[in-house]
Structure 1
Amino acid sequence: MQWTEVSITVNHDVASLVSNILEDHGSNGVVIEDSNDLIHDFEDKFGEIYSLSDEAYPSTGVRLKAYFNEMKYNNTLKTNIINTIKSLEALDNEVFDYQENVIQEQDWENEWKNYFHPFRASKRFTIVPSWEDYQIIDSDELCIELDPGMAFGTGDHPTTNMCLKAIETYVTANDSVIDVGTGSGILSIAAYLLGVNRIKALDLDEMAVKVAIDNFKKNNCEDSIEAVPGNLLTDETEKFDVVIANILAHIIDEMIEDAYNTLNVDGYFITSGIIEEKYEEIIDHMKRVGFKIISVNHDNSWVCIVGQKVSE
């Protein structure tokens, strides 16, 4: 199968909105290349051990790469994406650029290997690509072996990164966990490494479920995590201590009541994938349903919210 890689460069003010637009138009994930990353000292952040190449990043603004299969991408979709982006009031037309490139599926898989190397995603979790060797640095370190394949969630995106930190903080070995929109399975694996015995991973995309199962096998936890296709929590009848959802804000908004009903009392709802412009609406909705807001973290225009169910 052929894929179209759409490469869009925009100013920082609209980058998160453009990412949302691409997801809403059916992209199978978005790669973000931020020119500001070149000024950060990544080797000092959580012991990350990869370096960045100037050639791989735009000189200004943010480059977003989105991927569409040949059955989805056509001139109508392209026009709709461009028109929607150009309607953004804060768009800088001097920075805006739109390019496309046709790649084969094998090229897609290899493209990830150019960007994805072992790195410390949080205080304890280190993400290790399945094709690379890695030696554990300290005794408290937990390594997640990962091959994102056709699903997304590598730990380096702020949304996944913040979820991993929240899992470290709020999930214990005695909890039961349901991971909604599991993608690559990274958050379910993190829960398993913390000693959680009951984990269920859901994703509407059967390809994502397949990739997640493959990653569970790499981490020797395929027998400990139930991975099944599922439409959010609409059909869920079992209760859990923790609900995790790293998906888009408007989808999170749809599932807040179901998340509350799925949780045991004192259970946590860990949710991210929320852009700055939407997080207050999500918090208001969570409070109306009955959640107590425990933490709100921000990273590069993305937000992670943790709420607690305090009563039936």
Structure 2
Amino acid sequence: TDICVKVKSGDCETAAAVANMTVPYGIYIEDYSDMESVLSASPRVDYIDEALLSMDKSFARVHIYIPADQSPNEAISFIRARLEACGISHEIETDRALESVFMNEWKKYYKPERIGKGMIICPSWESFDEKEGDTVITLDPETAFGTGKHETTRLCLELIEKSITGGERLLDMGTGSGILAIAAKKLGAGEVTAVDIEENSVKIAAENAAKNETEITVFCEDILVSDKLYETVGGEYDVISANIVSDVIIAMGDMFLNKLKSGGTLIVSGIIDSRRDEVLSALTERGFSLCEAMEDGGWVAARLRK
């Protein structure tokens, strides 16, 4: 399935970073905003197709291709939610007829997967022979981001596994399918609160929590603009997890600092490797200390301490 995300040219870089989180093999970008400057520097322009010259240069398009073993709806939901969180106006174009076919087709390829030392992510329609000490998380992402197969999610899960020893209060920002919040709860966390700005993600996270017989509190709002939610979620958390995009991580820096208890742990992911230093510097400048950073497939996750 080809998914095309149309944004203003000035927002293309951020949109591309968001889209790239949904696929491990690259994206295709149409951006003609600098065409005039390029052509003015060229001695010959007669080889340029007229249709290309007439393209609207105020907008860019980011294309991603979703293969049969993945749900296009998950990618669409994730992209839409993250662009809205960044305040980026956008249009998403795709073949709706194909979406309905792939919605069920991808399930053939979604198999149980072992992550970290003892976590198993298993869809409800599959069975798994667990070993003693395994933590099995039953997960049906449907149209929410977070199957455990993307590098950003796997890295976050590994860091959560290292951070939960029992009884911790955890806040999960951008919960998606609820995978991180549910994993934390099953690993022994105490009170777990999850937040997402996408209504469907919140619904799916709650459903997945019920399937795992875990109790998490889920909210659907933007904590950066909702004073009510900011107050409602409280503070003094032992752990905050956020698998989101770099710009939102930076924007949430002060919120992370205010919501974590002294000595608390911040886990962030969704950072493309080219922005590693920028994001980590923004957090350390606010008073966090870096404990460790992990990389996989061009993505970075980090564990920091307040």
Q: Tell me which of 19, 22, 30 is aligned to 2:22.
A: 30
User: Which blocks of at least 5 consecutive residues in structure 1 are unaligned?
Assistant: 9-16, 35-62, 82-99
Counterpart residue number, 2:280: 283
CA contact (8 A) 2:24 2:297 kept: no
Counterpart residue number, 1:86: none
User: Which blocks of at least 5 consecutive residues in structure 2 are unaligned?
Assistant: 6-11, 27-63, 67-71, 81-89
Q: Tell me which of 180, 183, 193 is aligned to 2:186.
A: 193
Counterpart residue number, 1:229: 220
Counterpart residue number, 1:269: 266
Q: Tell me which of 134, 149, 163 is aligned to 1:170.
A: 163
Q: Cα offset for 1:277?
A: 1.0
Figure out how many residues of one structure are paired with residues of the other and give that number: 240
| Residue 119 in structure 1 maps to residue 110 in structure 2 | no
Q: Cα offset for 1:68?
A: 4.6
TM-score, structure 1 as length reference: 0.69
AA of the residue aligned to 1:23: V
Deviation digits for residues 83-109 of structure 1 (CA, Å, limit 9, x no counterpart): xxxxxxxxxxxxxxxxx6443554242
1:72-111 superposed matches below 5 A: 101-103=95-97, 106-111=100-105
Separation (CA, whole Å) in 2 of partners of 1:261 and 1:163: 21
Change beyond 3 A, Cα 1:208–1:285: same
Counterpart residue number, 2:16: 21
Separation (CA, whole Å) in 2 of partners of 1:142 and 1:232: 30
CA contact (8 A) 1:167 1:191 kept: yes
Deviation digits for residues 133-160 of structure 1 (CA, Å, limit 9, x no counterpart): 2221x21111110001110101111100
Q: Greater Rg, structure 1 or structure 2?
A: 2
Counterpart residue number, 1:140: 133
Separation (CA, whole Å) in 1 of partners of 2:304 and 2:114: 26
CA contact (8 A) 2:124 2:140 kept: yes
TM-score, structure 2 as length reference: 0.71
Q: Cα offset for 1:264?
A: 0.4
Q: Cα offset for 1:22?
A: 6.9
Identity %, equivalent residues? 33
Moved over 2 A (4+): 4-8, 17-20, 29-34, 63-69, 100-109, 232-237
Change beyond 3 A, Cα 1:209–1:121: same
Separation (CA, whole Å) in 1 of partners of 2:3 and 2:266: 34
